[in-house]
Amino acid sequence: MVQQSTVRRGAGGPPPGVVTAPEDETVLTSRQAFDSWWEERRRSGRFRVTRIPFAELESWSFEPGTGNLRHDSGRFFTVEAVELPDGTGPPASQPIICQPEIGILGILVKEFDGEPHCLMQAKMEPGNVNTLQLSPTVQATRSNYSQVHRGGRTRYLEYFAGHRRGDVLVDTLQSEQGAWFWRKRNRNVVVRTDEVVPAHEDFRWLPLWLMHELLRVDNLVNMDARTVLSCLPAPSGPAAAPRHTEREIRSWFIEEKTRCDWQPRLIPLAAVRGWARTAHELGDAEGRQFRIVAVRVEGAGSREVASWSQPLLRPAGPGLAVFVTRRIRGVPHLLTRARPEVGLLDLVEIGPTVQLRPGQHPDALEPFVREVATGAAGRVRYDVLHSEEGGRFHHALTRYRIVEVGEDFPLDVPRSYCWITPGQLVRLLRHGHYLNIEARSLLACVRSMR
Amino acid sequence: MVQQSTVRRGAGGPPPGVVTAPEDETVLTSRQAFDSWWEERRRSGRFRVTRIPFAELESWSFEPGTGNLRHDSGRFFTVEAVELPDGTGPPASQPIICQPEIGILGILVKEFDGEPHCLMQAKMEPGNVNTLQLSPTVQATRSNYSQVHRGGRTRYLEYFAGHRRGDVLVDTLQSEQGAWFWRKRNRNVVVRTDEVVPAHEDFRWLPLWLMHELLRVDNLVNMDARTVLSCLPAPSGPAAAPRHTEREIRSWFIEEKTRCDWQPRLIPLAAVRGWARTAHELGDAEGRQFRIVAVRVEGAGSREVASWSQPLLRPAGPGLAVFVTRRIRGVPHLLTRARPEVGLLDLVEIGPTVQLRPGQHPDALEPFVREVATGAAGRVRYDVLHSEEGGRFHHALTRYRIVEVGEDFPLDVPRSYCWITPGQLVRLLRHGHYLNIEARSLLACVRSMR
């Protein structure tokens, strides 16, 4: 493929509006090269995010009657509410973000000198703690790329959906945060090309080993990049006998779904109970979960339009996601847990060993995983703070941890848990509705463990 | 396995209440043997289904406010309504059956003389045109087997979910009619045993070849049996090159899902528009779709309780489901179509080439499949009238057809269609959300083509 790209180098002009550089100059081959490009991108961006009262949102308003927060165009997303099960008395409820359209998260891959590289983007998003994070080549809702808000076209989309489409390595629909999104899914795509790709200043080719290194940095690789990376086919290791066959895993998973027979329902935001709305925010009475806030965004950079306002969901604190890993007959396994979440399309997906939302305390965990969650037991192999979706959440951080345990950790686990190898998880990711976003983020991190 | 079952024959007593016969006598080795058992079962059943006004339903009523039709216990199912998209003006709506709990459809398989046999049940259901049909070993909602209506225990359940559980050959969650059910799914299970299984008079072991023969008889093999049979692993034929790889098929399917971005919502039955309720039925104004009716069921036989009343959905006429089949480079393919249906959990599943509900006319079909649907073109290889779920639908019939076409039939088809081999479809059935119930029924029939 390298040969072919050399042959074709220089053929065809760049699309109008794309700044080009010779492709060699856009491949970052060291951590130093990355750091200096990143610093330069960070300084060149002008981006200001200001909290505003709801009344100052442009084109967004609380719909009369339902109270749902929506855009005048009917597009993008709405904030509505959902009933939660609780067994006794009237069900509790919470706000939830509804975004029915399926977007694309796509990473373009190309080999240079036999090594796979990802075309990554320095992308500003209003909810990120540090604004700029490393994102997939394409990260676009349908509204984005059909240009509902009259911004520019989506760069590189033609490699995923158009006439330049390359070899598809990954193409799968995956869920996002089931606690905050109502049935949101995105198409996770990896495409391999051998064309010469004109490089915009916000984009660089990063070798896969460098991506893994950057995954060990706090708040750098964004959620969308992590989920796409998690779906990459795993390098086939030595033949290893996993604890369970894939059929057994599917049976276990169906059994867990079967035991969960409630059906969450959307209700109007006006009907939500236990949440209070001020001019500036809508939050739970105890301040333990999250608030819906409004921001104005002003800036110039890689965003499609220069200025807009929008609602964001702001969690009350960081979450925690932990995978326990253990060798079983010499083969590394991850301890997964089937977990219902109110916003998941099929309600139950496979999550990490431990997953705590803001406001959930480790004391509520089952004893056999509590010490691992708090770091009191096991050997911490990975411990990084990552950001969740910066286009919908405001400063939403999750602490991602992988903790290795020894042979004293029980192999027989309660029925909602299951030992699965990373390779088995990646094969399940060919299909949707299996792994939740937290488990996928951690799966990407597993590959970056030293 | 036969040896082992011979060795263990007679070991252990039958569970209390199960009539036993020596296992040899319960294996039906010929069509004649089946016909005489069936006739005997038909005569022994006493089962009367009478239409009644809604007011005579016991323990069922229209809930004040919502108007939803529900059981006093809150279990079984409800009749509610759903909004349909239509693009202009307020959306249309229709009643829909909501049944959140996941049931089990299980067929027990055992080899006799090296030949796989299925333990099938002669089961009466109130909605069947001929009452008695051939059903899976176990066909039970959670309400059934947790005995909400205080009937008997579910026979043979222990081979699927309990201590006698055998080798699991199939275990997958599959959807049911997306036009009439709101997100209903059942667990389709096939378990292989080598135990000696005490045989109740309503149950017989039928060789797989005989099952295929019986699939060519009108209204005999019920919907639940057909869907479970469709999931059986296909015998591996000679290596054949399909038109599309499985990854291409998944990409095509995701593309079709992505293009369908409406989200159906439940509404109260009282809010349904264009439907009229009398004392006896709730139907669409033009009488073209279906009616909700009420029946009283009295009888003795294999049902869990001897007498009850319940609502049923009665379609205005038979439906039509057609698979076009064609050899491509010598390999048989089926022409599938990705089709949105309002009640499907993920909205879009893969259906047959043609699928017409009652009230839908072939004139509405795209020209290239219209002649095949009406039988004017192609060679009809299979043409049988089957019943849909007799526990929820009243006299719901579908004409299932497989039509073989020649090389003059176009290989390039509109984008919602895709050529897929039967073997590829069966592999997709390991996972849920791929094939709709009509496509699965037809897939079972493909195996029974002469």
Query: Does residue A442 contact residue A221 with C-beta atoms inside 8 Å?
Result: no
What is the DSSP code string of B263-311? Answer: ---EE-GGG-SSEEE-SSEEEETTSSSEEEEEEEEEEESSSSSSEEEEE
Confidence of residue B12 (pLDDT cuts 50, 70, 90): very low
Cβ contacts of B245 within 8 Å, gap of 6 or more: none
Phi, psi (degrees; rounded to nearest 5) at B282: -125, 115
Q: How far is A269 from chain B (nearest CA, A)?
A: 15
Annotate A284-341 with three-state secondary structure.
ECCCCCEEEEEEEEEEECCCCCCEEEEEEEEECCCEEEEEEEEEECCEEEEEEEEEEC
Of the candidates B449, B421, B425, which has an alpha carbon nearest to the alpha carbon of residue B436? B425
d(CA A198, CA A22) in angstroms, rounded, equals: 8
Q: For all residues of chain B together, what is the average pLDDT?
A: 89
Touching check for A271 and chain B: CB below 8 Å?
A: no
| B262 shares contact with chain A (CB less than 8 Å) | yes
* Eight-class DSSP state of A27: B
Can you give the pTM of this predicted structure?
A: 0.91
Residue B162: count of CB within 10 angstroms of its CB: 9
Region B385-393: mean pLDDT is 96
> Does residue B298 register a pLDDT over 80?
yes
Give me B177's structure tokens. Answer: 């009619």
pLDDT at A302: 52
Residue B434 has pLDDT above 60, yes or no: yes
CB within 8 Å: A183 and B430 = no
pLDDT value of position B24: 74
In terms of DSSP H, where are the helices of A11-161? 31-44, 142-145, 158-161
Contacting residues of A for B251, CB less than 8 Å apart: 168, 171
pLDDT confidence band for A7 (50 / 70 / 90): very low
Neighbours of A92 (CB within 10 A): 14
Return d(Cα A344, Cα A351) in angstroms, integer: 12
pLDDT digits (tens, 9 = 90+) for B94-131: 999 999 889 999 999 999 999 999 999 999 999 999 98
Find the helix or strand (DSSP H, E) in which A203 lies.
strand A203-207
Given a contact cutoff of 8 angstroms between Cβ atoms, the answer to whether A221 and A141 are in contact is no
Beta carbons of A105 and A161 less than 8 angstroms apart: no
Average pLDDT score over residue span B73-94: 84
**Mean pLDDT for the stretch of residues A17-38:** 81
State whether residue B6 sits within 8 Å of chain A by CB: no
Token pair 């290989």 in the structure block, residue: B411
Q: What is the largest CA-CA distance in chain A?
A: 71
In this complex, do A432 and B433 lie within 8 Å of one another by their Cβ atoms? yes
Q: Inform me whether the C-beta atom of residue B98 falls under 8 Å from chain A C-beta atoms.
A: yes
Lowest mean pLDDT among A6-15, A184-193, A423-432, B25-34: A6-15
Closest chain B residue to A248, measured at CA: B168
More confident residue, B366 or A181: A181
Which pLDDT value is given to residue B87? 59
Q: Where are the beta strands (DSSP E) in B16-77?
A: 46-52, 60-62, 69-71
Q: Give contacts of A248 with chain B, Cβ < 8 Å.
A: 168
A261 interface with B at CB cutoff 8 Å: yes
Q: Please indicate if any CB of chain B lies within 8 Å of the CB of A247.
A: yes
Residue with tokens 């997100």: B183
**Which residues neighbour A350 within 8 Å (Cβ) at sequence distance 6 or greater?**
A253, A336, A337, A338, A339, A418, A420, A425, A428, A434, A435, A436, A439
Confidence of residue B152 (pLDDT cuts 50, 70, 90): low
Task: Give chain B's length.
Answer: 450
The confidence score (pLDDT) of residue B88 equals 57
Tokens linked to A333: 């396994």
Nearest to A384 by CA among A266, A265, A221: A221
What is the predicted pLDDT for the residue at A305? 54
Predicted ipTM of the assembly: 0.89
> What tokens appear for A195 in the block?
């064309």
Can you count the helices (H) and strands (E) in chain B? 10, 25
pLDDT in tens, A398-431: 999 999 999 999 999 999 999 999 999 999 999 9
Distance from CA of B287 to the nearest CA of A (A): 30
Q: Is there a contact between B171 and A247 if contact means CB atoms under 8 Å apart?
A: yes
* SS3 state of residue B350: strand
Q: How far is A352 from chain B (nearest CA, A)?
A: 21
Angle, vertex CA B370, rays to CA B174 and CA B218, nearest 5: 55
**3-state SS, residue A5:** helix
For chain A, what percentages of helix, strand and coil (3-state, to nearest 5) are there?
20, 35, 45
Looking at residue A2, what is its pLDDT?
31
The number of residues making up chain A comes to: 450
Q: Comparing A134-138, B163-167, B349-353, which segment has the lowest mean pLDDT? A: B163-167
How many angstroms separate the CA atoms of B91 and B262, rounded?
12
Q: Please say whether the beta carbons of A318 and A312 come within 8 A.
A: no
Residue with the bigger pLDDT between B348 and A163: it is B348
pLDDT at B167: 93
Cβ atoms A432, A185 nearer than 8 A = yes
Q: For the CA atoms of chain B, what is the radius of gyration?
A: 22
**Which one, of A91, A61, A57, A60, lies nearest residue A267 by Cα?**
A91
Distance, CA of B274 to CA of B284 (rounded, Å): 6
Q: Is residue B36 very low, low, confident or very high in pLDDT (cuts 50, 70, 90)?
A: very high
Question: Taking 70 as the threshold, does the pLDDT of residue B300 lie above it?
Answer: no
Question: pLDDT at position B106, please?
Answer: 97
**Closest to B48 (Cα-Cα) out of B317, B303, B219:** B303
CA distance B124 to B130: 9
Q: Is B196 within 8 Å of B5 (Cβ atoms)?
A: yes
Q: Quick check: B430 contacting A, CB < 8 Å?
A: yes
Neighbours of B315 (CB within 10 A): 23
Q: What is the mean pLDDT of residues B424-437?
A: 96
The reply to whether A183 touches chain B by the CB within 8 Å rule is yes
What pLDDT is attached to residue A359? Answer: 80
Interatomic CA distance for residues A444 and A438, integer angstroms: 10
Query: Hey, are the CB atoms on B432 and A433 less than 8 Å from each other?
Result: yes
Residue B174 exposed, middle or buried by CB count within 10 Å (0-12, 13-18, 19+): buried
Per-residue pLDDT tens digits for A57-96? 999 999 999 999 999 998 889 999 999 876 556 678 999 9
The CA distance from A241 to A237, in Å, is 11
How far apart are the C-alpha atoms of A406 and A94, rounded to whole Å?
40
**Cβ-based contacts under 8 A for chains A and B:** 67
| Among A250, A262, A265, the residue to mutate for chain B (most B Cβ within 10 A) | A250
Burial A192-218 (b: 16+ CB within 10 A, else e): bbbbbbbbbbbbbbbbeebbbebbeee
CB atoms under 10 Å from CB of B259, counted, come to: 14
How do residues B263-286 score in pLDDT, each as one tens digit? Answer: 888 999 999 999 999 999 999 988
- pLDDT (tens digit per residue) in A141-185: 776 666 544 445 789 999 998 777 889 999 999 999 999 999 999
| Residue B396 binned pLDDT confidence (cut-offs 50, 70, 90) | very high
pLDDT at B265: 86
What whole-number distance in Å separates Cα of residue A225 and Cα of residue A386? 11
Among the listed residues A303, A348, A301, A341, the one whose alpha carbon sits nearest the alpha carbon of residue A319: A341
Both structure tokens of A224: 């969308």
